[in-house]
Structure 1
Amino acid sequence: MTGSHQMAPPRRGGARPAARGRRRKRSRVRLVLAISLSLLVLVTAGAGWAYLKLSGSIDTFGADGISDSRPAAASKGQNVLVIGSDARTGGNSELGGGDKGDIGRSDTAFLLHVYADGKHAVGVSIPRDTLVDIPRCKLPDGSWTQPQTNVMFNSAYSVGRTAKGNPACTQNTVEKLTGLRVDHTVVVDFKGFSELTKVVDGVKVCVPQDVYQKDLNPGRSTRGKRIFAKGEQTVSGQKALDYVRLRHGIGDGSDIGRIKRQQAFVASLLKKVKSDGFTPTKLLPLADAATRSMTVDPGLGSADKLISFAMSLKNIDLHNTKFITVPWRYEGARVAIVEPDAGALWAALKADRTLDGQDASGKNSKKTADSSPSPSAGEPVSGGGISVAVYNGTTVTGLASRAAATLKTADFTVTGTATASTQDYGTTVIEYGPGQKDEAKTVARLFAAADLRSTTTAGINVILGRSYADTPSAPASSEPTAVPSEVADGARSADDDLCAKLSYG
């Protein structure tokens, strides 16, 4: 017994260090967990702060100015109108924008079509001097303007003559011109653009020749200093702004030439953003810089919506990102849209077909229960058993008779021709009653970029728009598979050589 009592202390003494070791280990684990939890809280708080800061930076324009007569969404793709404004308050005058008391003007604009497959995109530039029809637009006092015909495209943004401009009117004009629904509109001013290029640490560009101060400001009496040397270089801030604004002294000094360089710049910017990676770490500073001087439609008016949209672009291939200019020709000092080329382009985008005619709708071969197979591109249109009424929605005389003759040639039954209740249709509209959608689709194959609309009244009505009036002959009798080759051949890919296709003339 005595021996056992004498053995006990060593056992207790040997157990004490082990217990202390276990306690120290548990303490270390708790410390690591506490530190990790603290870091998580800090990171989450930081992300939350950035999120709130970003949300607070986003300015939106009123949806009440968007037309209530809009094209229907034709695919799962998205159409985003990007407007560059050169006259807004908030520090823009110091960067070369208009005076603080000046009205808002649009300096550049392009419609970005993101295909439904999420792998293709095309940006269509619309020259600011393009002659278009501007529909009714809302004024600051709540009243609406009368439609305007054959006026410059950039005048739509100045309707109402406010410092912030009228992006809703420009959106309405683009929808009328193209027959495509604009899902989102983004306006970026000089300051926002300048900050954007700084955040990405500059954008690579190529200058086709030496450029001097007089080239940027023709009002100078002397050539001034050289501001750009010929060749590749990286620009940001004011330098980047000067590059995209540069017009004179390169090529024919036209806005068309400047558009080509702007397309090259946007392509290079996309390439840089994509190479940096589509992660929140990269996107938050980028979005923060962009939104400080950005105005968007209500659909992009929150941080989660804006970042979600940006993330939806991450799988678009650079080679499959194209930039083109709407088919055009000079009309005096202005630019006129060329038909039927433009109509074929809008039709291709509406059908989610790429510039070379590939299907980029993202649909697989499996048909849904309520879908029916589309006629093949080469199959002639047959309207046997389909009755159609034709209305002239323009001021061009004889248009309904011309369309009726085209329909009769394809075996449609024309029940009558008449003048529509209004004559301001930019795009042809095909109305169809319950159960007549497939028949309406057959009719639509005769009218490029036509907009299909369902009604509660039985029957099919074709209301002809300006796009049909501008077509010199009857449209092709099959669904277009590609835009005209001269349009596709002039496209720039986002991965093209920086120094290629930089000027016109």
Structure 2
Amino acid sequence: MTTTWDGRTTRARKRGPWRIMLLIALVVVTLGAVGLGWIYLKLNGSIHTFDAGGLSQHRPTAGPSKSENVLVIGSDARNDGNSALGGGDTHDIGRSDTAFLLHIYADHQHALAVSIPRDTLVTIPPCRLPDGSWTKTQTTAVFNSAFSVGQTDQGNPACTQNTVEQLTGLRVDHTVVVDFKGFAALTRVVGGVQVCLPQDVYEKDLDPNRATPGNLLFKKGEQTVSGQQALDYVRIRHGLGDGSDIGRIKRQQAFLSSLIKKVKSDGITPTSLLPLADTATKSLTVDPGLGTANKLISFAMSLKDIDLHNTKFVTLPWRYAGERVAVVEPDASRLWAALQADRTMDGKDAGGKQQTQGDAPASPSPTGNISGAGIDVAVYNGTTIGSLTSKAVSALTEHGFTVTGTAKASSQGDTTTVIEYGAYLKPQAEAVAQLFPGAQLDFIGGSGINVVLGTSYATGGSAASAAPTAVPSSVTADARSADDDLCSNLSYGSGG
């Protein structure tokens, strides 16, 4: 019994066990929501985004499928504590050390990452400078110089994105930049990443300017690395294989495979992603489309169903051009076309619906009034009929087209002639197609027009339409899956 303020007595009210449990549950949920809300506010406050106003006004259109293209840039900027990890002047401009385009197929069960060598010769389209003005187009420029346009310590992610869209003809949905400090922190958060070295590595291998070998950094074989050691592993170039950037790319692909394997083995859940997200938001710069914690975590969760075997790494088709790297055509164009069509490494459709190689075959038309003035064309022979190349060159030059080069295609078994064209060049490609009855028009990105001759050109264009696009065999032969043996295919050239 209790006594009220006015002297009345009442019987104490008993709370049943279910009522108590309900109150406890309500308190827990409320505190949990407040805690989660605080975490998301904390994460949001740490996210760095770059200005999307620097993106091109003439971007490729988004494809019909729900696939996504994500550009990942590794920056070797020396500001904000990065100098201690990578050396160099803290006042130096931002530079890109590595980059790859990750294509996430529409089925969200396959992914393909294409590494772009830093010394690749490309066309850099107009990019915005810090004062708001725009640069002029640069031809035969080195790919990693796009990130340095504007000469700022943060770099220019928008310019690199513009360049990748120009190179591939694919629309980049998101761009992520990670610096030295962020990379080192991420490897520590996951508890280290297992790697493999084909030989012992010393300090001189990381810094060729050293007079002596220095200390042993890595022993030959498998080991787990994190922080500074992980950074050293992905940056080492001179002491392994032929010392090229191509060899380093192979080890970076192996490292990323191992990192993905580690994250997936720990489980991809919102809870497990929170420590990663906390570290990432402090060290990544992203486009505005990934500019909130919710978007970042939702994006990461969308990748959880891609298994290791279906996560592939390849390198942009390349060849040496002196000390630089040139893009190999038409292999590169066919790679971009395969991604545009959501074709996997073996040519299967991962876009959720049947797709074909490109537009319908061009309709034949009279050739008497065709003018190719100002139109550059490269000719590739996809057959074993050697005379077809000269026949095509004669037809093109007779109508005023400029033939910029001829070569064998990567395959000599093509039946249908294909006219491949880059962004904004479809009208010119249609003019070329008038000289090749039954030719297939195929948008492949880039900035040029290729004629890939098939046997149909020898028979007047009567061959059947081309088969669906697949990743070229020259690319697939050197691919890595995330479940490959850790110590396989680690170097390009001798020693690997």
Check if 1:478 corresponds to 2:466: yes
Contact 1:84 1:188 in 2 (8 A): yes
Secondary structure of 2:448's match? helix
Secondary structure of 1:139's match? coil
1:390/1:143 Cα in 2 relative to 1: closer, same or farther (>3 Å)? farther
Distance 1:202 1:164 in 2: 27
Q: Which residue, out of 352, 360, 363, partners 1:383?
A: 363
Secondary structure of 1:137's match? coil
Q: Which residue of 1 aligns with 2:407?
A: none
Q: Which residue of 2 aligns with 1:460?
A: none
Secondary structure of 1:186's match? strand
1:126/1:35 Cα in 2 relative to 1: closer, same or farther (>3 Å)? same
Letter in 1 for 2:74: G
1:258/1:376 Cα in 2 relative to 1: closer, same or farther (>3 Å)? closer
Contact 2:331 2:474 in 1 (8 A): no
Q: Which residue of 1 aligns with 2:23?
A: 34
Letter in 2 for 1:55: N
Check if 1:467 corresponds to 2:455: no
Check if 1:351 corresponds to 2:332: no
Q: Which residue of 1 aligns with 2:185?
A: 195
1:240-277 alpha-carbon deviations (Å, 9 max, x no partner): 11111111111101100000000011111111111212
Contact 2:361 2:441 in 1 (8 A): no
Check if 1:334 corresponds to 2:324: yes
Alignment coverage as a number of residue pairs: 436
Q: TM-score, normalised by structure 1?
A: 0.79
Q: Which residue of 2 aligns with 1:72?
A: 61
Q: Which residue of 1 aligns with 2:410?
A: none
Q: Which residue of 2 aligns with 1:123?
A: 113
Letter in 1 for 2:479: A
Secondary structure of 2:268's match? coil
Q: Which has the larger radius of gyration?
A: 1
Distance 1:444 1:357 in 2: 23
In structure 2, list runs of 5 or more residues that go unmatched: 1-10, 382-387, 393-398, 403-419, 456-464
In the TM superposition, residue 309 of structure 1 has moved relative to its aligned partner by 1.0
Q: Which residue of 2 aligns with 1:211?
A: 201
Q: Which residue, out of 484, 487, 492, partners 1:499?
A: 487
Q: Which residue of 1 aligns with 2:248?
A: 258
Distance 1:355 1:445 in 2: 25
Q: Which residue of 2 aligns with 1:429?
A: 424
In the TM superposition, residue 391 of structure 1 has moved relative to its aligned partner by 6.8
Contact 1:445 1:478 in 2 (8 A): no
Q: Which residue, out of 433, 438, 446, partners 2:440?
A: 446
1:444/1:98 Cα in 2 relative to 1: closer, same or farther (>3 Å)? farther
Q: Which residue of 2 aligns with 1:321?
A: 311
Secondary structure of 2:196's match? strand
Q: TM-score, normalised by structure 2?
A: 0.80
Q: Which residue, out of 469, 478, 483, partners 1:490?
A: 478
1:426/1:146 Cα in 2 relative to 1: closer, same or farther (>3 Å)? farther
In the TM superposition, residue 426 of structure 1 has moved relative to its aligned partner by 8.8
1:359-370 → structure 2 map (5 Å cutoff):
359-363=349-353
Q: Which moved more, 1:94-103 or 1:45-54?
A: 94-103
In the TM superposition, residue 386 of structure 1 has moved relative to its aligned partner by 11
Q: Which residue of 2 aligns with 1:168?
A: 158
CA RMSD, Structure 1 to Structure 2 (Å): 3.4
Contact 1:129 1:334 in 2 (8 A): yes
Q: Which residue, out of 40, 49, 52, partners 1:60?
A: 49
In the TM superposition, residue 448 of structure 1 has moved relative to its aligned partner by 4.3
